[in-house]
A and B are shown apart, each in its own frame.
Chain A
Amino acid sequence: MRRLRHWGPGLLLLSPSLILLAIFVYGLIAWTTKMSVSDQHTALKSNGFVGLDNYKNLFTNDIQDRFVHSLRNLLIFTVVFLVGAMLFGLIWALILERGVRAEGFFRTIYLFPMAVSFVASGVVWRWLMNPVVGDGAGGINALFASLHLDFLQNKWWTNPTWGMAAMAMPAIWQLSGYVMALFLAGFRGIPQELREAAAMDGASTYRLYRNVIFPQLTPVALSALIILGHMSMKMFDLIMSVSGPQWLTEVPAVYVWQTLLTSDYAKAAAISIVLLLLVAVVIVPYLIYTNRAEKNS
């Protein structure tokens, strides 16, 4: 009883949040899951249980394999986005980490896109990624033409096979600065003595980075990947803003919205749950790992 008096008030203070999250996170997920195994395909109420049929239909019976197509788009987008943002973030951090005059200025500029919403940046990227090539080219294509780099002109996101790679460009533009900030904090967290010891041992700059510094950055890289990865899975605003909802650039998050417009609740719920599972497969092990790592330290 005395122990309860000790920690009881804390739990009490926390309980409103716990109740709200229990309802609005876990409760609503359960509700969506229930909807995804029902036959509520119209605005009318219906609670027939159909098991996993909605899921099966998504993978095997969707018109033109629309769902698989959206997953494929998401995969291309995610790979290009992650690789691009990690690469630029690391390069920028390396440049700034080596000591640059006016570092604060560079850092602020590299990071500013982060403050802009995808809806706002979509406006300008739609303009930049003007798909016209040749004489009437606009946006980046026009820039290529004036630099005599015409061969680089392309149709950007309207390319039916690799369009999603272009769609990742605005996302890379927006999040590379964030990765840079993470890496920069990682670099600065490495004790100076470690570098000095390596220098004393006669390690070259390359070996210093390769064998001493980069291994220390693994946790930072992992959290950057997790944050970017889960953002990528949810990507909605950017695509709605650059291309609008359309077949070429459809990802599951947009598909959910489009399906809801036709009031097919069961199908929309099933897509949402697949999306949730995709995120959970990555996030849950990460959270457990973090929790354990913390206990051991």
Chain B
Amino acid sequence: MTTVAVPPAAVESLAPRRKAKRPFGPASIVKYALAILFLLIVLMPLYVLIVTSFKSGGDIGVTSQWNLPEHWTTASWVKAWSSLRDSFFRTFQLAIPVAVISSLIGAANGFVLSRWRFPGADVVFTLILFGMFIPYQAVMIPLREIVTTLGIPPGIPTLVFVHCIYGIPICTLIFRNYYATTVPEELVEAARVDGAGLLRTFGWIILPISIPGFVVTIIWQFTSAWNDYLFAIFLSNTRNGPITIALNALAGAQSPDYAASMAGALITSLPTLIVYVLLGRWFIGGLMAGSVKS
């Protein structure tokens, strides 16, 4: 099996193989120095975001940019929250249904393509997978035309629909590889011999052991729906769209209020960061699954 991309296995394989027991030599000092240097570089933008978001207007001068705030204030947070609040809750209405629906579709597809195969299943799978790589600009123009012609109002329900469709390839991929490596073929065969049909096998035998797969696709789809900007800008607006649109409106003005923009960027990132920190191990598994082959 060359398509690894197996969520649980990938997570396992990330676990350290052995504890570092070697004594501290020069080599390991260099190693830690580098690790910490890179850590600081990666955290630098986060530092700027947090520090600036608590500054007051007069405090943002060029010379004191990197300093801690002289007077800590939450005024910018209040301002950012008031302009992002509505879209913040709307984005949950977008990201949660997308995560659940596309995971269910992906599970069903993945099961068929790995354990209830039909002639030509591999070709069909490759055709499905291609949908994951296309630049969405290539479908966006007619997509918007369909939406306007059919009189579908722009906004969250439309976005849920398109995210579910374009999420099918990645969810199918994740579940196909998950089932192919964790569900023994004999299990499905045994159920068949007992006379269980496809739906019964899937619902009673496969779904209960699919939780690790679901964790991965739910995190993945939640994050990508939450962070999406392209579909949002085409199919919604600041009054009915997700938070990325609202943040861009807040931060993209001619002379942006940097403190409020940064507070807004933190508010926008908070849900995905919390999901990520709480479920990080599985999230990493999801990233592995994003690669067709590893």
Contacts and interface: CB of A to CB of B under 8 A. Distances in A.
B215 to A, nearest CB: 15
A236 B108 CA distance: 32
B291 A182 contact: yes
Given A24-B165, A31-B142, A114 B264 contact: no
Contacts of A294: 1-3, 122
Given A224-B291, A275-B135, A142 B65 contact: yes
A119 B245 CA distance: 9
A276 B248 contact: no
Nearest to B106: A17
Contact of A121 (B45, B52, B140): B45
A109 B276 CA distance: 11
Given A17-B172, A253-B137, A241 B252 contact: yes
A110 B38 CA distance: 8
A117 B252 contact: no
Interface in A23-73: 24-25, 28-29, 31-32, 35
Contacts of A244: 252
Interface string B144-172: 00000000000000000010011011001
B179 to A, nearest CB: 13
B18 interface: yes
Interface string A121-149: 11111011000100011110011001000
A21 interface: yes
A152 interface: no
B141 A260 contact: yes
A139 B247 CA distance: 21
Contact of B45 (A110, A128, A132): A128
A7 B119 contact: yes
Interface of B: 1-4, 10, 13-20, 22, 31-32, 34-35, 38-39, 42-46, 48-49, 52, 62-63, 65-66, 105, 108-109, 112-113, 116-119, 122-131, 133-143, 162, 165-166, 168-169, 172, 197-199, 202, 223, 226-230, 233, 244, 247-248, 251-252, 258, 261-262, 264-266, 268-269, 272-273, 275-277, 280, 283-284, 287-288, 290-294
Interface of A: 7-11, 13-14, 16-18, 20-21, 24-25, 28-29, 31-32, 35, 88, 91-92, 95-96, 98-101, 103, 106-125, 127-128, 132, 136-139, 142-143, 146, 173, 177-178, 181-182, 184-186, 188-189, 192, 219-220, 222-224, 226-227, 230, 233-234, 236-237, 240-241, 244, 252-253, 256-257, 260, 265, 268-269, 271-273, 275-276, 279, 283-284, 286-288, 290-291, 293-295, 297
Q: Which 7 A-B pairs have the closest CB atoms?
A: A117-B227, A99-B20, A7-B118, A223-B291, A28-B139, A10-B116, A115-B276
28 contacts: A8-B118, A10-B117, A10-B198, A14-B113, A17-B128, A24-B165, A32-B141, A103-B16, A115-B223, A116-B272, A117-B268, A120-B247, A123-B261, A123-B264, A127-B52, A127-B258, A136-B62, A223-B292, A227-B290, A227-B291, A236-B137, A237-B244, A257-B137, A257-B233, A272-B140, A276-B137, A287-B130, A290-B292
Given A110-B42, A287-B126, 18 more contacts: A9-B116, A14-B109, A14-B113, A17-B172, A18-B128, A24-B162, A25-B139, A95-B34, A111-B284, A112-B273, A115-B283, A117-B229, A121-B265, A138-B65, A226-B291, A241-B248, A265-B141, A283-B133
